[in-house]
A and B are shown apart, each in its own frame.
Chain A
């Protein structure tokens, strides 16, 4: 409930005060992190292996090299090539993709003695109807009538479709945690009977960039807006929901929720324990619009 948190936030801005302090996080040892968010597009697909680090290290992660990474679709095994810096890539051939909607995909990763496995299915995405540019003056923190974008797309029929909308403004990915635009059917979360309709307004509006204070930034003539809808598994949806909630939890002030770990779908084969990260294979639909 984004609007709700803004309401609460406004109230506490006036009276509360914040100071940066030094804290010992109590970090003990690093663990493997598998970043395997790939698509069935015809472009090069990359899986990244890194290590987790002290929360306060403020550095790029240590890459894990010399691992064996494969993605299996039925009987077809796609070998991902170690291209250094913890990155493993696979480029489809002409007219080839890694899989189709409905295919079950299996990820295998071997690092030294240890091996990891994950399984997922490719889900469908709806086409984007349009990106509309319109004038709006009722935006919290925005003074006058200004231009904003809205993404129009209709949720696919059937309960439980989950999507991740990535948006770009002038080719810059909107990658703030607050800009994570996650959609369950046409709304924020499961548990409602909303299904098969146009994404609800706050989600359509969430393709606009936010500034450092979380306030939507208006568009100017000539700006380019690009939206991509990715189908994600329910596990990946929940994973990102917690990422969004936890990465922005500080903004909730006194209404902060208890810390929760994102739960991945990748397991250590011998210990059967979850490791950090997600394996998701998405279908994607996209549209671009220039503000005129």
Chain B
């Protein structure tokens, strides 16, 4: 162990030169609104020393004494060159002006132009908000979660399903972060729209593999969504009227160049439209969803800056007074950026996140049912970046998360008798420590290696259940109940998660990258339906449910052509997952104190090839992404213990996204998607019992039949405002979703005739192809900016 530590230290500090070095550091921002730029490329002309700005727009380069020309570049902005005399440490903030020549041009890449090849990071996709806004969408609503499904390796079980699947992982294996706070249900209206308001989002990044040690907690991916800080130069209003939402976002400086805010809200108006169709008894019906995103910041000095951001969203459904159902997330993040020195950047994040839902039935006092459930957590997360040299960065830090799970607080009043049928709360602490080092070893080789140590403790106070063994697939009987006191550790899990990424430049235009990561996941979403529902609950690893583990290996070849106008990337990956959860037949996952006795554990494997070709600029641009993949599961007690494809397995997945700029004002975009039908299970026989016709799956197989392939073409045209510095700028987006009206099946199910069965007559059965969207859907939306 000592030797390993020594060699790591050597590697980390080996490239430190001990001559007289000075540092130039600062923030890189948009000149027009003061927003920091994430992932901007900064380099020195003289020696090529370079860096990329971090999540807060901070950069730091340390080189020998001398005079240098500092270049700040970011796609869509004019390059900025500044001569810097480095005979002491210099603080230099770079303000980039928007490049008017490319103002309205669609640019399908962000950050520096050759990032595809030059960046060490593989298996990462980044979508620029400008690109996302130009994509044709369902009902004209700009959608982050649906946009990322146009990228290789990202799929969904079908239209309207909540969440997304990354490289064969289930939806709960994605850590969705909004300003570092986890979002436990990222959907509005089940799965049609995501909770992210496009007006408030600055940057979207998806890690599918090669996950750096600073990220963890889920097996398959990290979706890192960062919010805008708000215009620190001038007052600005953005808004829009769409088919589903109306949006309004206000941003303004509080103290010019020191403090600003953004407040962005959206509300759907389906209920306003539905009102005339409701009868008297249902007059009080509700059907709406809304969200509010706010952020503010204060810059105390160049060394200290504070950010406060929050999200609040809710979906509301009520049918008269007799039934109501609502759900939503709340998150709050407080961050403090502090510069200990030009080389040591620190960030302390604390967040609160809460997802809850409420259901109530019954309008008469003597008979009601009220039920709510939530997952809540508090976290503290210090993180440090030490920019040793341009070729060597060390990051280290840790995090602690306190979880409170309330699976069900429920009170049933039946015939005036009140009974509390709540299930008991669960508590847990997840902690981790990490260190990672990114270093350029030789000219052509970059490496990021790191380790994450994670610990999870399942805590009292609560009853601890112990279950006996049964043939797998049956409910396990309760054998003993013990009591754990408040704060008492019921079960403990520790894991070391090694991470490694390597990049080798073959020449100036191509590179080979490889990565390995181990990830641990200590909380699971209990969901047994094809698409997850808002009432699905999260559960921690307990004394009966183990945490899941995954190991992923990926190798890729990256190449750019013709001065980085064309980008090509190819990756293969293999992911092995252990201790995934599944359920016994007919499992009852909600309002069940003993749910742990109905959970099975299994393993999974996913592997595939991902190809992506991009044309990044010009009148005609876009990308083509193709994935050949397999995602499988094996659970004792399911499919006769054999491997079977997961419900979201898609062999082929192709998407083509194109943009065409007709002139400065009018641009077109189109996307085409195709994927192999997902697998499902059919009953093959049926039998009668007490007059009921009961479907049966004779072979006990799982996911043995595929539904027909999915394909769809969407078009949209964007009409931008006339160029010029007018106060009000309006933009029209007209689109058609599913232009050739393909009835893409979500699933095929078997159904019995819905007429009342008649004695001595057979029950008629049929197979139904169910499409969530069976027609083309036109849309029109209007967006505006007022400054």
Please give, as numbers and ranges, the residues of chain B lying within 8 Å of A35 by CB-CB distance: 688-690
Closest Cβ neighbor of B418 among chain A residues: A197
Please give, as numbers and ranges, the residues of chain A lying within 8 Å of B619 by CB-CB distance: none
Contact of B692 among A189, A202, A243, A257 (CB under 8 A): A243
Closest Cβ neighbor of A195 among chain B residues: B419
A143 touches B767 (CB 8 A): no
B684 touches A4 (CB 8 A): no
- Which residues of B in the span 729-757 have a Cβ within 8 Å of any Cβ on A? 743, 746-752, 754-757
Q: In the complex, which of the residues A26, A142, A186, A259 has the most CB atoms of chain B within 10 Å of its own CB atom? A: A259
Asked if A245 meets B531 with Cβ closer than 8 Å, knowing A18-B768, A21-B769, A254-B160, the reply is no
- A interface, how many residues as a size bin? 35 or more
Cα distance A189–B748 in the bound complex, in angstroms: 28
Cα distance A155–B362 in the bound complex, in angstroms: 21
Please give, as numbers and ranges, the residues of chain B lying within 8 Å of A10 by CB-CB distance: 319
Q: Is B528 an interface residue (CB 8 A)?
A: yes
Q: Is A77 an interface residue (CB 8 A)?
A: no
Cα distance A254–B421 in the bound complex, in angstroms: 28
Nearest-Cβ distance from residue A173 to partner chain B, whole angstroms? 8
Contact of A194 among B421, B588, B746, B749 (CB under 8 A): B421
B688 touches A199 (CB 8 A): no
- Which residues of B in the span 316-332 have a Cβ within 8 Å of any Cβ on A? 317, 319-323, 325
Interface string of B587-604 (1 = CB under 8 A from A): 010111111000000000
B361 touches A50 (CB 8 A): no
Cα distance A197–B411 in the bound complex, in angstroms: 14
Closest Cβ neighbor of A178 among chain B residues: B754
- Which residues of A in the span 198-213 have a Cβ within 8 Å of any Cβ on B? 198-202, 212-213
Closest Cβ neighbor of A264 among chain B residues: B689
Please give, as numbers and ranges, the residues of chain A lying within 8 Å of B322 by CB-CB distance: 138-140
- B interface, how many residues as a size bin? 35 or more
Q: Is B415 an interface residue (CB 8 A)?
A: yes
Contact of A191 among B595, B688, B754 (CB under 8 A): B595
Asked if A25 meets B530 with Cβ closer than 8 Å, knowing A19-B768, A246-B694, the reply is no
A245 touches B588 (CB 8 A): no
A61 touches B756 (CB 8 A): no
- Which residues of A in the span 1-28 have a Cβ within 8 Å of any Cβ on B? 1, 3-4, 7-8, 10-12, 15-23, 25-28
Please give, as numbers and ranges, the residues of chain A lying within 8 Å of B749 by CB-CB distance: 249-250, 256
- Which residues of B in the span 686-702 have a Cβ within 8 Å of any Cβ on A? 686-698, 700, 702
Q: Is B682 an interface residue (CB 8 A)?
A: yes
Nearest-Cβ distance from residue B597 to partner chain A, whole angstroms? 10
- Which residues of B in the span 404-448 have a Cβ within 8 Å of any Cβ on A? 410, 412, 414-415, 417, 419-421, 423
Q: Is A190 an interface residue (CB 8 A)?
A: yes
B682 touches A190 (CB 8 A): no
Q: Is B161 an interface residue (CB 8 A)?
A: yes
Cα distance A31–B687 in the bound complex, in angstroms: 9
Please give, as numbers and ranges, the residues of chain A lying within 8 Å of B755 by CB-CB distance: 212
Cα distance A170–B327 in the bound complex, in angstroms: 42
Nearest-Cβ distance from residue A287 to partner chain B, whole angstroms? 16
Nearest-Cβ distance from residue A67 to partner chain B, whole angstroms? 16
A250 touches B684 (CB 8 A): no
Closest Cβ neighbor of B749 among chain A residues: A250
Cα distance A197–B593 in the bound complex, in angstroms: 19
Q: Is B507 an interface residue (CB 8 A)?
A: no
A194 touches B412 (CB 8 A): yes
Which residues of B are at the interface with A, using a C-beta cutoff of 8 A? 158, 160-161, 189-190, 279-282, 317, 319-323, 325, 359, 361-363, 367, 369, 410, 412, 414-415, 417, 419-421, 423, 528-531, 533, 535, 585-586, 588, 590-595, 647, 681-698, 700, 702, 705, 743, 746-752, 754-757, 760-762, 764-775
In the complex, the 6 A-B pairs of residues with the closest C-beta atoms, listed nearest first: A17-B774, A191-B592, A260-B585, A138-B322, A192-B421, A198-B415
If A17-B771, A200-B367, A201-B361 are given as contacts, then 16 extra A-B residue pairs at C-beta distance below 8 Å, sorted by A number, are A19-B768, A37-B689, A53-B687, A54-B685, A55-B685, A55-B765, A58-B762, A61-B688, A143-B281, A175-B691, A212-B754, A242-B586, A247-B694, A249-B749, A254-B531, A255-B529
Sampled A-B contacts (27; CB under 8 Å): A1-B590, A11-B317, A15-B773, A16-B746, A18-B771, A27-B685, A52-B686, A52-B696, A54-B684, A138-B321, A138-B363, A140-B319, A175-B756, A177-B752, A187-B421, A197-B415, A201-B362, A212-B754, A247-B693, A251-B751, A253-B747, A254-B158, A254-B161, A254-B190, A254-B772, A263-B585, A277-B687
